[in-house]
Amino acid sequence: NPATDEGESRGGSHPARRGAQEQVDKLRTKLDQTIAKTVKLEQQSERHRKTLSEYDSRAHDFSELRQQYHILLKDQQALTLARDAHRDQINDLQDTLRANSAADCQKALQILREDTQQGFDHFQEQINF
């Protein structure tokens, strides 16, 4: 076709059309690259969300453990105070028991002395008769 040959020989396809096609191709390439970057960013963002969610869960678990630790610490302190109070009571009771035992021993000794003295006096009376 001579007209077509003549048009192509003057610059090939129409220059404006070729320029527009090149711009469309460049824009498509740029769009594809932008879509690929967006997909990568979305994937990275999703990984970060999962990581943050995991950290948040761990932080919550840590917070609960910390609260339980403080409760146990208070319980331990209360138990230590109660134990010390019971030890004081035991010591007081042992002191009282020792004092009572000593008093009972003193009383028994006094009774024994009195009985011995009475026995001795009775023996003296029999001898003097």
pLDDT one-digit tens code per residue, 27-60: 999 999 999 999 999 999 999 999 999 999 999 9
User: What confidence score (pLDDT) does residue 126 get?
Assistant: 80
For 18, residues 6+ apart whose C-beta sits below 8 A from its C-beta are: 12
φ/ψ (deg, to 5) at 13: -70, 170
Reduced to 3 states (helix: H, G, I; strand: E, B; else coil), residue 99 is helix
CB-based contact 12:18 (threshold 8 Å)? yes
State which amino acid sits at residue 15.
Answer: P
Using CA atoms, how far residue 48 sits from 21, 43, 68, 75, in Å, is 40, 9, 30, 40
In which band, very low, low, confident or very high, does the pLDDT at 13 lie, cut at 50, 70 and 90?
A: low
Angle at 122 between CA 118 and CA 123, to 5 degrees: 115
User: What confidence score (pLDDT) does residue 42 get?
Assistant: 96
Structure-token match 């000794």, residue found: 109
